[in-house]
């Protein structure tokens, strides 16, 4: 649009130049000028309407056309610059004498030129109006063309993304086939492992049943051996009585007498159960021959009890915390109250452990009654009471408190090791005793 306005301006300037070169009325020149302008306008209209090319090319062609026309006009003007501007016959830059004497009216020429310029402007406006729709169409076309190009770029990008996705899908399909194969192999291995586990479980169950049967048979043999042992070392409860007249009505426990391998021992029922044994063994600091009969029986009962506990521990596969009770009782020559308390604590604790391992009820046990605990254990071994066999050492809270209190009361004192240096002449010596310590 601006180009067309410029063309109009250039044509106006060209008209002004023509006014300068044709200051007088020139009918012939006026007709030629009008003819040229009409031809130019017709060429413009033909160029912009009939030619199917773009706006830019149309504008360039029009601009080239006007440039060529202006060059031709300037050339003609320069060539005819020495002629009369009106008649074009005389070689003169101003009006010739014939034209000056013919009374030519210059106002009509100016009016005709103004009319021509007005028509020219009207033609330009009509051209702009005719080209406005095409210009809008071209602008819309270019804008939509840009949108189409952007969409094409996006489509190309999406297509590339789709290709990458397809390639990934193909790789995933390959991996899926491999994974399916691996899953099949793993399921096969799982089934094989499950079969192996089932076979192993069946074998374990069979071994467990066999172990139970073996344990049952072993228990039968243990009971048989224990019964034979009890025949060799008979252990019986003789009677029960109260020590003094006030004990029966005061609610105190009664005294019980036991016979262990024909050795008579009495066990009290108060909190100082060991005090009776200490009173009977009060003369143990001297030789055993000088003991009274009750002290001898009590001491022998303790020795037989320690031997019996060691044999039962071997049969029941139970490890005793104190293994050398028989040695301490048999080979100790110098007894003190602390040594006796220590030995009695060891013996009571070993008997308690044997009772719990064999399944004697904890509520029937008392740490202050070693012979009563041993009698309960022998009742289980004889089969008089059916007790479950257990390997779990679970102490009752009351029994645990008794053990802790008794341990705190004991002033721990071990017996001296028996060596060949302190043996009198004529005594028996166990040479391998020190090696079995």
Neighbours of 432 (CB within 10 A): 6
Task: Kindly calculate the radius of gyration of the chain based on its CA atoms and give it in whole angstroms.
Answer: 70
Q: Which two tokens stand for residue 229?
A: 């042992």
The whole-number pLDDT of residue 310 equals 86
Nearest to 296 by CA among 264, 261, 254: 264
| Token pair for 52 | 């199917």
| Res 130: pLDDT | 84
| Structure-block tokens of residue 85 | 């501007």
pLDDT value of position 190: 93
Domain ranges, ordered by start, for the chain: 2-156, 234-436
Q: Match 């729709």 to its residue by tokens.
A: 133
Q: Strand, coil or helix: what is 239? A: strand
- 44 burial via Cβ count (<10 Å: 0-12, 13-18, 19+): buried
Residue 19 confidence (pLDDT):
42
Q: How many CB atoms lie within 10 A of CB 86?
A: 26
pLDDT of residue 13: 42
CA torsion sign for 158, 164, 167, 172 is negative
Q: Which residues pair with 264 in a beta bridge?
A: 259
What's the pLDDT score for residue 69? 56
Q: What is the pLDDT of residue 291?
A: 62
pLDDT tens for the chain, 437 residues: list them.
444 444 444 444 444 444 444 444 444 444 444 454 455 445 444 444 444 455 555 555 665 655 655 555 455 544 445 666 667 666 666 667 777 666 555 566 678 778 888 999 999 888 888 888 888 888 889 999 999 999 999 999 999 999 999 999 998 888 888 899 999 999 999 999 999 999 999 999 999 999 999 988 887 887 788 778 877 877 888 865 544 443 434 444 567 888 888 888 777 655 455 565 566 555 554 445 556 677 777 778 888 888 888 888 888 778 888 877 778 777 776 777 777 788 888 888 888 888 888 778 777 787 778 888 888 888 877 764 444 444 445 566 777 787 888 788 878 777 655 444 555 555 565 544 444 43
- Res 276: pLDDT: 54
Residue listed under structure tokens 């009325």: 25
């Amino acid at each position: 649009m601006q180009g067309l306005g410029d063309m109009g301006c250039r044509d106006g300037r060209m008209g002004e130049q023509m006014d300068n070169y044709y200051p007088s009325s020139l009918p012939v020149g006026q007709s030629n000028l009008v003819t040229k302008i009409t031809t130019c306008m017709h060429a413009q209209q033909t160029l912009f309407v009939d030619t199917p090319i773009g706006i830019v090319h149309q504008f360039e062609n029009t601009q080239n056309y006007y440039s060529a026309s202006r060059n031709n006009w300037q050339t003609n003007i320069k060539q005819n610059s020495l002629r009369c501007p009106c008649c074009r016959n005389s070689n003169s830059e101003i009006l010739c004498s014939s034209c000056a004497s013919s009374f030519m009216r210059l106002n009509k020429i100016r009016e005709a030129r103004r009319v021509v310029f007005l028509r020219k402007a009207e033609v330009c406006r009509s051209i702009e109006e005719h080209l406005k729709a095409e210009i809008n169409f071209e602008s819309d076309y270019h804008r939509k063309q840009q949108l189409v190009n952007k969409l094409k770029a996006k489509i190309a990008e999406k297509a590339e993304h789709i290709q990458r996705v397809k390639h990934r899908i193909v790789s995933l399909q390959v991996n899926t086939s491999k994974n399916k194969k691996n899953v099949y192999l793993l399921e096969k291995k799982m089934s094989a492992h499950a079969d192996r586990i089932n076979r192993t479980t069946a074998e374990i169950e069979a071994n467990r049943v066999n172990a139970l049967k073996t344990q049952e048979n072993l228990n039968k043999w243990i009971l048989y051996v224990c019964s034979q042992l009890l025949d060799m070392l008979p252990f019986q409860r003789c009677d029960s009585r109260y020590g003094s007249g006030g004990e029966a009505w005061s609610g105190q426990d009664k005294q019980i007498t036991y016979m262990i391998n024909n050795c008579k021992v009495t066990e009290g029922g108060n909190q100082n159960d060991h005090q009776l044994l200490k009173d009977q063994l009060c003369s143990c600091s001297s030789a055993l021959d000088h003991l009274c009969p009750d002290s001898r029986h009590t001491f022998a009962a303790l020795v037989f009890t320690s031997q019996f506990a060691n044999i039962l521990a071997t049969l029941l596969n139970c490890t005793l915390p104190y293994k050398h009770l028989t040695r301490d009782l048999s080979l100790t020559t110098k007894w003190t109250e602390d040594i006796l308390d220590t030995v009695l604590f060891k013996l009571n604790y070993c008997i308690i452990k044997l009772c719990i391992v064999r399944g004697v009820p904890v509520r029937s046990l008392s740490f202050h009654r070693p012979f009563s605990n041993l009698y309960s254990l022998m009742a289980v071994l004889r089969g008089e009471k059916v007790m479950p066999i257990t390997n779990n050492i679970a102490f009752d809270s009351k029994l645990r408190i008794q053990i802790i209190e008794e341990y705190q009361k004991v002033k721990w004192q071990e017996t001296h090791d028996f060596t060949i240096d302190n043996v009198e002449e004529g005594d028996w010596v166990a040479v391998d005793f020190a090696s079995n310590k």
